[in-house]
Amino acid sequence: MTDAGAVFSFGFEQYGKLGHGSLESEVLPRRIQALADTGRRFVAVAAGCYHALALTEKGHVYGWGDGLDNGHGQEQHTPQQVAALLGEPVKLVYAYGFYSCAVTETGELYIWGRGSSFHLGHGVAAPQMTPKRVEALSRVNVAAAAIGTGHTFVADEDGMVWAFGKRAALGLSEADAPPRDSEGEDSKDEGCVVRPTLIPNLRVRTLP
């Protein structure tokens, strides 16, 4: 992404993740024309394994690539605005591996993609094809997030941190983490923290 708000991509092509409308790899950086054609200025980009996101200065989110992760629920070879986030001005976007998340101007967290380690925060291991609000954090004014291989961290404006996903990656002791559920979808949660859990005695600095 340039200072002027133009977005370029390059590299190995799969599932349309470069956003140029073809399945041809690009050796050199090439401007994504579909984003240029919107006439909007982009202020952030995020890329996972097979998908990517771009955020405009007005809080609109565009996604493309693999349908499980791009926010549309179907494969897109050129960037398209994510319909599920219309009317929800977004200030931050994140992508990693096979899932994504967005933080809105009002401090709400939306997550979507593959969720086999419960790292989407929705309480189930099933994939979420389009952006869905994390209801367990509905009373938290989310300021920032960080996502990794099967785990997610969320910080509020005061620097308090919540975590969910693979238990070994979260910095939670057995005493800190909630007990494992014994029935329903959560019976598959061995080694995972299913729902957002506050990490005690930890504060972080969140940048504007």
| % of the chain residues with pLDDT over 90 | 85
Closest CA to 100 of 58, 66, 143: 66
Looking at the domain assignment, is residue 3 inside a domain?
no
Based on the structure, what is the number of domains in the chain? Answer: 1
Q: Residue 182 has what pLDDT?
A: 41
Average pLDDT along the chain: 92
In this structure, are residues 145 and 109 in contact, taking their beta carbons and an 8 Å threshold? yes
Looking at the domain assignment, is residue 18 inside a domain?
yes
Looking at the domain assignment, is residue 71 inside a domain?
yes
Looking at the domain assignment, is residue 208 inside a domain?
no
Residue ranges of the chain with per-residue pLDDT less than 70: 173-190, 207-208
Q: Residue 185 has what pLDDT?
A: 45
Phi, psi (5° rounding) for residue 186? -70, -5
Q: Residue 188 has what pLDDT?
A: 52
Looking at the domain assignment, is residue 1 inside a domain?
no
pTM of the model: 0.92
Looking at the domain assignment, is residue 92 inside a domain?
yes
CA distance 4 to 17: 22
Looking at the domain assignment, is residue 32 inside a domain?
yes
What is the CATH classification number for the domain harbouring 99?
A: 2.130.10.30
Q: Residue 206 has what pLDDT?
A: 72
Contacts 24+ apart (CB under 8 A), 81-86: 82/53, 82/130, 82/131, 83/130, 84/110, 84/112, 84/130, 84/131, 84/132, 85/60, 85/61, 85/110, 85/131
Closest CA to 204 of 169, 165, 153: 153
pLDDT tens-digit series, residues 34-61: 999 999 999 999 999 999 999 999 999 9
Give percent helix, percent strand, percent coil of the chain, each to the nearest 5: 10, 40, 50
Looking at the domain assignment, is residue 154 inside a domain?
yes
CA distance 167 to 127: 19
Q: Residue 50 has what pLDDT?
A: 97
Residue 8 is classified by DSSP as E
CA distance 202 to 192: 20
Q: Which domain holds residue 154?
A: 8-203
Q: Residue 172 has what pLDDT?
A: 77
